[in-house]
Amino acid sequence: MKIIACVKRVIDYNVRVQINRDGDGVVTDGVKMSMNPFDEIAVEEGLRLKEKGVATELIAVSIGGSESQQQLRTALAMGADRAILVENDAPLIPLGAAHILLRIIEKEQPGLVILGKQAIDDDRNQTGQMLAALWGRPQATFASALEINGEKASVTREIDAGMETIEVDLPAVVTTDLRLNEPRFVKMPDIMKAKRKTLDVIAAASLDLPSIPNVVTSNFSPPPTREAGIKVESVEQLVDVMKTRGLI
């Protein structure tokens, strides 16, 4: 069974994001970029399934500019067998990403597609669900545990009422939560080996994609500055302040 793990290039989670001078985007020049943390968990889970003998091949797939090869090389260094970059420099909404991934799925015929539940740059949490709908296959979102049993996958996921376990037929789409695993540390020898692994580059324009209206964000602004708090000496004073501010 093949597994496809989807990878997105995002600003590193340790970086404080800043809006650029024009207010039409965020500063990316000179900023550290990394693999989306939820996608890194997806790659790790694919590797663990392969190590268990469940899968024979793990393919890392990304959509973006040529610079996204860096994140794919990271996935290869972790242990992915090969990688595919769909080059696309234009802005892309989740539905567009789902259509592109569907083309790769149709070519590779994987038994499982696994990706992060959301990307930390836009937090949309839509691509996995849309991909499953377009593919016409089951989905299991927010996975915190995953077991493959023959032609079925058992997925434990967190919901408002606690935890639930569902079973889906394979092939399927699974999106990962933080509790699923802890990604492995990449060693230098693995980074060197990754340079010799196959990384195919495909132009998005060659995939015969449907026309999809895009969403353009014209203005970015920082959240309002929080007011400084105050200290009170007693519960009575706290109640008085809250009454004055119309909170009770």
Residue-wise pLDDT tens digits, 2-45:
999 999 999 999 999 888 888 888 888 889 999 999 999 999 99
Cα–Cα distances in Å, from 205 out to 20, 70, 94, 131? 30, 22, 17, 19
Return phi, psi of residue 157, to 5°: -140, 150
Say if residue 64's pLDDT is above 90: yes
CATH number of the domain at 57, please.
3.40.50.620
On the question of pLDDT at 115 being above 90, the answer is yes
Write out the DSSP string of 60-76: EEEEESGGGHHHHHHHH
**Number of folded domains that form the chain:** 1
Q: From edge to edge, which strands make up the β-sheet containing 139-149? A: 162-169, 152-159, 139-149, 172-176, 112-116, 2-7, 57-64, 82-87, 199-203
The answer for 108, left when phi > 0, alpha when psi is -120 to 50, beta otherwise, is alpha
CB-based contacts of 130: which residues, under 8 Å, 6+ apart? 94, 95, 98
- pLDDT tens per residue, range 128-180: 999 999 999 999 999 999 999 999 999 999 888 889 999 999 999 999 999 99
Q: Where do the DSSP E strands lie in the chain?
A: 2-7, 9-11, 33-35, 57-64, 82-87, 112-116, 139-149, 152-159, 162-169, 172-176, 199-203
Q: Is the pLDDT of residue 223 over 90?
A: no
Q: Domain residues for 26?
A: 2-244
Model pTM score: 0.86
CA distance 183 to 201: 26
Enumerate helices (H) and strands (E) in the chain, giving the number of each. Answer: 6, 11
Residue 148 tokens, joined: 């493959």
152 vs 222: CA distance, rounded Å? 45
Total length of the chain: 248
